[in-house]
Amino acid sequence: MSNPLKQVFNKDRTFRPKRKFEPGTQRFELHKKAQASLNAGLDLKLAVQLPHGEDLNDWVAVHVVDFFNRINLIYGTVSDSCTEQSCPVMSGGPKYEYRWQDDNRYRKPTALSAPKYMNLLMDWIEVQINNEGIFPTNVGTPFPKNFLQVVKKILSRLFRVFVHVYIHHFERIIQMGAEAHVNTCYKHFYYFVTEFNLIDTKELEPLKEMTSRMCH
């Protein structure tokens, strides 16, 4: 990452503390393996493939936490220009509006401003990834049967952050000289979710044209 980007992404602009992996754990070793292949400039399509002999759930868990941290950072860099006034609706252009639904206050899909939606989204994901019953950290503790279902929901909601940032705040990313970093992060995310079939094709529609230019 170049110095201007370090300045952009190292400010304490993330909403949340970063979730880290405990050194010495299987997950930490996998995280290092994933990072090493990225840092070596390996083709992203190859970098996302499941390493020989590794468990799919472990590999997915490591990437979900990593994507959460990175996408958090990306949104943190534009959050000062994503306000109730500028983004009264959480959307990706005129065709796509995202409504929030959860098990607490918003039982029905509810239209919210983008900053409200983002806050709820990041809080919700943080609860999921810190829940030992869903993302166990102890070696030998099995993942729940519905693990990939939960992951699909997390990733499809994280994808919406990319949609909103690309369609409504990309000028800001360009002003900061951060577009190469954001594009690389997006490509990595896209190759990962398509490699393991973790997001429905219809969810990917809003960035379809951009993706076909960038990723094929």
- In the annotated binding site for Zn(2+), the residues are 82, 87, 164, 169
CA distance 135 to 45: 25
CA 101 to chain centre: 18
Contacts of 96 (CB under 8 A, 6+ apart): 163, 205, 206
DSSP state letter for 93 = S
Give me the amino acid identity at 72. N
Say which residue the tokens 């918003």 belong to.
106
Annotated binding residues, written as ranges, equal 82, 87, 164, 169
- What SS3 state is found at 100? strand
Token pair of 40, please?
A: 């070596």
CA distance 125 to 129: 6
Say which residue the tokens 């279902």 belong to.
149
